[in-house]
Amino acid sequence: MQRLRIDRIGGQGDGIAETPSGTVFAPLTLPGETVCAEVREGRAESVEIVEASPDRIAPVSPQYGDCGGCSLQHWAHRPYLEWKREQVRLALAREKIETEIEPTVAAPAASRRRVALHARRGPDGRAILGFKARRSWRLVEVRECPVADPRIVRAIPALAELADAFLEHPKSAPTLHVTWTLSGLDVDVTGVERRSGGLSGDARTRAIGAAYRADLARLSLAGETLLMVRQPQIAFGPATVPLPAGGFLQAVPEAEAAMVSRAVEAVRGAKKIADLFCGAGTFTFPLATVAPVIAADASKAGIDALKAGVGSAKGMKAITAEARDLFRRPLTPFDLKGCDAIVFDPPRAGAIEQTAQIAGTKAGVVAGISCNPQTFARDARVLIDAGFRLERVTPVDQFLWSAHVELVGIFRR
């Protein structure tokens, strides 16, 4: 066993100790702690806390320490949120960007309306649901989850019965993507073996029966609807939108609201707004209460859902939506002519191709939403070099007790 002093928390949520032999990563530790551990290839295993940090608190999850989901549940709220803010500062600093970074917006516990539950056969042959263990493919069975919406947690026994039908083939590794909607639970299943012919007719029948007994709004298999009792719907601003099967949705309503409110406030007074990587309209509909919006996203299903939601709300300005791959065919300054405000919310890879086009527009304000501070900083550098100023950034803790941090950045000419 080796004695280690934890200096700081790294970007993936592990404690970091600097030793004469090199850097050691120690999971589930905190800055200032002294621990004893077996060190193998730069990682601490079998960690024992010798001197605990005063910021260490009791975890609330029964799966803590085994489940790979909540790596920072043992950290007091204030320093944990400040660490997330610091991760944003560090990402910006790598691009030599300085700006005001607001305090991290916290997401409450028991609020995640979208979770991915992996299904496997347990030792007794029954179907179990859970999350992957830390740094492992092993499944940790979950019966309680302090971050998930309680309505999802209560449905876990029924969802396990549903999962049984999708474990028909020994090579299947199903994942149930579970979303709580205004219409009830929406479940899209991926990871089912297809080379052998996919799900048999009997298994489909059993899955549909289990979904009906669980009162699911919809059950789909990799986007293909197997059963729909009620159209899953989501509220975006004043609109009610039909959620596409397997479609993207922000995980926590409170985090979504924090990001939307900042984007809308930034563009007030605009005459025309572009919403890029718009999905099914998370930002589009709230933005349309300010000015006409042109919206674009690669997902045709998302755009179709957005269009279907247009007639559900009153008091909005005109919305024009287009299915378009913004990586291969970004909107050009000509396409964005007349847009004096632009909002973009790309995937983790960022939006470097589209950002380069935004830089050439006459837009006076840009709101960038990101789930990856590193790619945001890279995109921000492009805008800053084109004459924008990054006015402020707001970190958002959408994925509670994880190392993940999201943000909203406001740019002005």
Nearest-10 crossing angle of helices 201-213, 156-165:
170
Residues 119 and 207 in one domain: yes
Is 242 contained in some domain?
Answer: no
Residues linked to residue 9 through DSSP beta bridges, in sequence order = 15
What is the predicted pLDDT for the residue at 408? Answer: 98
Is 351 contained in some domain?
Answer: yes
What is the predicted pLDDT for the residue at 134? Answer: 84
Is 246 contained in some domain?
Answer: no
Residues 181 and 291 in one domain: no
Measured torsion, CA atoms of residues 277, 115, 174, 123, in degrees rounded to the nearest 10: 160
Residues 194 and 270 in one domain: no
Last residue of a domain, one of 233, 264, 295: 233
Residues 402 and 273 in one domain: yes
What is the predicted pLDDT for the residue at 170? Answer: 87
Annotation marks residue 371 as catalytic: yes
Taking the C-alpha atoms of residue 58 and residue 44, their distance in angstroms, rounded to an integer, is 21
Residues 144 and 207 in one domain: yes
Specify the CATH number for the domain of residue 278.
3.40.50.150
Taking the C-alpha atoms of residue 16 and residue 23, their distance in angstroms, rounded to an integer, is 7
Angle among Cα 143, 144, 150 to the nearest 5 degrees reads 120
Total number of domains constituting the chain: 3
DSSP string, 397-409: E-STTSS--EEEE
Taking the C-alpha atoms of residue 221 and residue 228, their distance in angstroms, rounded to an integer, is 12
Residues 279 and 356 in one domain: yes
Residues 407 and 314 in one domain: yes
Residue 276, both tokens: 């890029």
Specify the CATH number for the domain of residue 40.
2.40.50.140
Contact status, residue 354 vs residue 276, Cβ threshold 8 Å: yes
What is the predicted pLDDT for the residue at 194? Answer: 84
* pLDDT in single tens digits along all 413 residues of the chain: 899 999 999 999 999 999 999 999 999 999 999 999 999 999 999 999 999 999 999 999 999 999 988 999 999 999 999 999 999 999 999 999 999 999 999 999 999 999 999 999 999 999 999 999 988 889 999 999 999 999 999 999 999 999 999 999 988 999 999 999 999 999 999 999 888 778 999 999 999 999 999 999 999 999 999 999 999 999 999 999 999 999 999 999 999 999 999 999 999 999 999 999 999 999 999 999 999 999 999 999 999 999 999 999 998 999 999 999 999 999 999 999 999 999 999 999 999 999 999 999 999 999 999 999 999 999 999 999 999 999 999 999 999 999 999 999 999 99
Structural domain including 50 reads 2-56
Q: Residue 203 in 3-state DSSP?
A: helix
What's the pLDDT tens digit per position in 92-115? 999 999 999 999 999 999 999 999
Is 316 contained in some domain?
Answer: yes
Specify the CATH number for the domain of residue 214.
2.40.50.1070
Residues 180 and 297 in one domain: no
